[in-house]
Amino acid sequence: MSIYSITMTLDDAATGRLLWQVTTRWRAAVDRAVAPLGLTHAQYTLLGSLYGLSRSGTRPSQRELADFAGLEPIYVSKLIRALEGAGMVVRSEHPSDPRALQLTLTDKGTAVIREAVTVVHALQDELTAPIGGTAGPRNRELIHTLRALLNPSDGSDLMTESPTLTGQDISEAHGAVRKLHEHILHSTGSSSNQHITLRVVAIRGPWSTRTALRDHLCDQPQLGLDEPAANQLLDDLEDQELITRTTPVALTARGEDLHTRLATAVQGTAARLYQDLTPAELAVAHRVLAKVTERADHLSQEQK
């Protein structure tokens, strides 16, 4: 008997089995949840990826969508045919590549994925409830662990030359985009934090309690809010009759109108902002920024 087999306990050896069980449970739960909408877990994943790209003003090819979603192209082709048959996706000739087909969500596809996202977010809240919910520190640590397993690194690839992307580059891009965002918001008298909160209520709501919404806002580092500031933000939105004063917390008719107008303006500007960037390039940028954010948060925790 090897030293490995002697020292490893049953719990130590359970990683693969537990990952498989959680994944299987999650896929089955999503399948059941989105079945009334005519979707499977795989179709939801693909439709959600296409929805995300569409909101940034891009119309990907099947290959670009496969790369973005992390799925095999041949599998994506099969899923797209099913979604097209259901009237949720349209395939058309690619303007710059005669060998490729461009993908577009139909109105039906957009309506279905929006409803599905709400359903799956609620399911995710339920699944992560034993570890404090999606906004809790244990869930964030779980995400960090899973990303480490998906992208293993032993630290041997440390950069020996100056990086082509620096913190200053990221700060300058953030500052320029934030300035543009604030210019769009200025015409409506809204602040950036108010816009983000309206989006949170529209996409993730209705919220069962105001406290749950406040705590979620406090957990968003880009907002920079403590509890008093978050409460004041919600008070202002209530005073402007943009969100309900009673629970569950949802957008009022006035709030829905403002959110729609802002979303239209932001999406139009985003389309121009990203117009020369391919979905593949945007996907790479997304992964890089997500990884930089994750590592910065991890290093900040180490400094405490």
Q: Is 204 exposed, middle or buried (0-12, 13-18, 19+ CB in 10 A)?
A: middle
DSSP collapsed to 3 states, the chain: CCHHHHHCCCCHHHHHHHHHHHHHHHHHHHHHHHHHHCCCHHHHHHHHHHHHHHHCCCCCEHHHHHHHHCCCHHHHHHHHHHHHHCCCEEEEECCCCCCCEEEEECHHHHHHHHHHHHHHHHHHHHHHHHHCCCCCHHHHHHHHHHHHHHCCCCCCCCCCCCCCCCHHHHHHHHHHHHHHHHHHHHCCCCCHHHHHHHHHHHHHCCECCHHHHHHHHHCCCCCCCCHHHHHHHHHHHHHCCCECCCCCECECHHHHHHHHHHHHHHHHHHHHHCCCCCHHHHHHHHHHHHHHHHHHHHHHHHHC
Contact predicate 185/192, CB 8 Å:
yes
Structural domains counted in the chain? 2
pLDDT at 78: 92
In degrees and rounded to multiples of 5, residue 274 shows phi and psi of -105, 15
- Within a domain: 12: no
The reply to whether 47 and 99 lie within a common domain is yes
CA angle 274, 278, 282 (to 5 degrees): 70
Pick out the chain residues at pLDDT < 70: 1-13, 152-164, 303-304
CA angle 276, 281, 284 (to 5 degrees): 155
Instruction: Please say whether the beta carbons of 249 and 204 come within 8 A.
Output: no
In a domain, 48, yes or no: yes
Residues 131 and 36 in one domain: yes
In a domain, 296, yes or no: no
Neighbours of 235 (CB within 10 A): 11
- Which two tokens mark 285? 């940028």
* pLDDT at residue 6, as a whole number: 42
CATH for 109: 1.10.10.10
pLDDT score for 108: 95
In a domain, 90, yes or no: yes
295 found inside a domain: no
Residues 185 and 242 grouped into a single domain: yes
Listed residues 104, 121, 148: the one ending a domain:
148
For residue 43, the model assigns a pLDDT of 93
Does a structural domain hold residue 31?
Answer: yes
Residue 302 lies in a domain: no
Which range of residues forms the domain containing residue 188? 166-273
| Residue in the block written with tokens 């709501």 | 205
Sign of the alpha-carbon dihedral angle for 76, 65, 53, 206: positive
Write the single-letter amino acid at 208: S
pLDDT at 29: 92
Q: Does residue 79 sit in the same domain as residue 137?
A: yes
pLDDT of residue 5: 45
Dump pLDDT digits (tens) for 230-274.
Answer: 999 999 999 999 999 998 999 999 999 999 988 888 888 888 888
d(CA 199, CA 195): 6
In a domain, 286, yes or no: no
- What pLDDT does residue 162 have? 46
Place of tokens 């990907």: 60
For the record, the structure tokens of 10 come out as 């049953």
- pLDDT, residue 13, reads 61
